[in-house]
């Protein structure tokens, strides 16, 4: 059954399943995302929107077997995940998304003293959203069909979730992703200032504003709907321990060197740092990835001492699907 037919069937069902809150909400040639480019059809790529006004359509998909929040076959509008962005490439946090311990969470817990806040902000998970979008920026963009957009939660999903929902807990009112009766999304991307990242490199601070829904003139065409893919099946949703550990070793020395002490959070961390990487640091991002809003959006607690962490029970190797 195709996506369009599946959506029509779901709307006929009384009390059809509403999109439950994502677990992420609890708590190009170059690809630093979790998307597996080699799994994409020929011609499909990542969307890198210019700093302009935009109108896009979000294309839903049928959840696959790797989805952390929905059963296979459920119609979903996005993929909401908690990822580590201190590595290249980025990785899904299996600890936050699947309750399976991962090397970076283990590193955080193994620090003998309180981790300095600036280090914790860098290494902690960030909430990201992946959309399938159809851009109407230009005729050339429209001809590309569906593109994949990997974007921080606070730039888009935060706003869309508010816009689509009735006030005072009234549920979803606008199913903007519906292929027949949905709506397009308009917004603007602009430079709002400058920032300096942890390495001292300067970049542009980006602001997304003016989010609003625009009625479509007609349903999404079949040639667009037929391009839809299960996003959880083309992303590295369950990275192996070894691949995360290898990537993190290239960046963790600077975190170890910043260490902390029991009281003030300064001094040596007490752990042996891995060999320093000789790779050049990546260029400054056009998005300010150290924004306080992004850090707070994950509902991540302040770093604790190892003694406090040791008192907490940790569920190791427990998959949400096997509970």
**Tens-place pLDDT, residues 46-102:** 999 999 999 999 999 999 999 999 999 999 999 999 999 999 999 999 999 999 999
Q: What's the token pair of residue 213?
A: 């829904």
| pLDDT higher than threshold 50 for residue 14 | no
Q: Report the distance separating Cα 79 and Cα 68, nearest Å.
A: 9
Q: Report the distance separating Cα 69 and Cα 320, nearest Å.
A: 9
Q: In this predicted structure, what is the pLDDT of residue 70?
A: 96
Q: Report the distance separating Cα 81 and Cα 68, nearest Å.
A: 9
Q: Which residues contact 321 (CB under 8 A, 6 or more apart)?
A: none
| Average pLDDT over the chain, rounded to an integer | 78
Residue 200, by phi and psi: left (phi above 0), alpha (psi -120 to 50) or beta?
Answer: left
Q: What is 108-139 written as a DSSP string? A: HHH-SSPPPHHHHHHHS-EEEEEEEEEE-SSH
Least confident of 31-35, 168-172, 215-219: 168-172
Confidence band, pLDDT 50/70/90 cuts, at residue 1:
low
Q: In this predicted structure, what is the pLDDT of residue 22?
A: 55
Confidence band, pLDDT 50/70/90 cuts, at residue 200:
confident
Q: How many residues does the chain have?
A: 323
The residue whose two tokens read 């027949």 is 180
Query: Could you tell me which residues are beta bridge partners of residue 128?
Result: 81, 152
Measured in whole angstroms, the distance separating CA 132 from the mean position of its chain's CA atoms is 13
Mean pLDDT of the region 203-215: 94
Q: Which domains does the chain have, with CATH numbers?
A: 3-9+31-309 (3.90.198.10)
Mean pLDDT of the region 24-52: 80
Mean pLDDT of the region 128-146: 97
Q: Is 117 in contact with 301 (CB distance < 8 Å)?
A: no
Element (H, E) at 242: helix 241-249
Q: In this predicted structure, what is the pLDDT of residue 10?
A: 62
Q: Report the distance separating Cα 259 and Cα 112, nearest Å.
A: 9
């Amino acid at each position: 059954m195709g996506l369009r037919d599946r959506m029509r069937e779901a709307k006929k069902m009384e009390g059809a399943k509403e999109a439950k809150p994502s677990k992420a909400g609890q708590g190009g040639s170059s690809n630093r995302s979790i998307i597996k480019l080699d799994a994409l059809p020929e011609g499909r790529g990542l969307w890198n929107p210019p700093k302009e006004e935009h109108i896009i359509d979000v294309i839903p998909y049928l959840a696959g077997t790797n989805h952390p929040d929905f059963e296979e076959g459920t119609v979903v509008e996005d993929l909401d995940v908690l990822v580590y962005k201190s590595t290249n490439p980025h990785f899904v946090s299996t600890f936050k998304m699947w309750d399976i311990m991962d090397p970076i969470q283990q590193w955080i817990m193994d620090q003998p003293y309180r981790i300095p806040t600036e280090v914790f902000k860098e290494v902690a998970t960030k909430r990201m959203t992946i959309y399938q979008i159809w851009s109407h920026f230009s005729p050339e963009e429209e001809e590309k069909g569906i593109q994949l957009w990997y974007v921080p939660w606070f730039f888009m999903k935060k706003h869309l979730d508010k816009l689509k929902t009735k006030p005072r807990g009234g549920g979803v009112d606008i199913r903007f992703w519906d292929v027949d009766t949905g709506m397009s999304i308009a917004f603007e991307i602009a430079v709002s200032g400058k920032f300096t990242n942890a390495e001292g490199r300067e970049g542009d601070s980006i602001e997304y504003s003016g989010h609003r829904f625009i009625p479509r003139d007609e349903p999404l065409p079949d040639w667009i709907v037929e391009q839809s893919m299960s996003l959880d099946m083309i992303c590295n949703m369950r990275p192996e321990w070894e691949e995360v550990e290898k990537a993190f070793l290239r960046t963790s020395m600077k975190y170890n060197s910043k260490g902390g002490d029991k009281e003030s959070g300064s001094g040596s961390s007490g752990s042996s740092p891995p060999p320093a990487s000789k790779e050049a640091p990546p260029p400054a991002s056009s998005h300010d990835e150290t924004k306080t809003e992004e850090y707070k959006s994950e509902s991540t607690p302040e770093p604790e001492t190892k003694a406090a962490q040791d008192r907490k029970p940790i569920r190791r190797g427990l998959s949400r699907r096997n509970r």
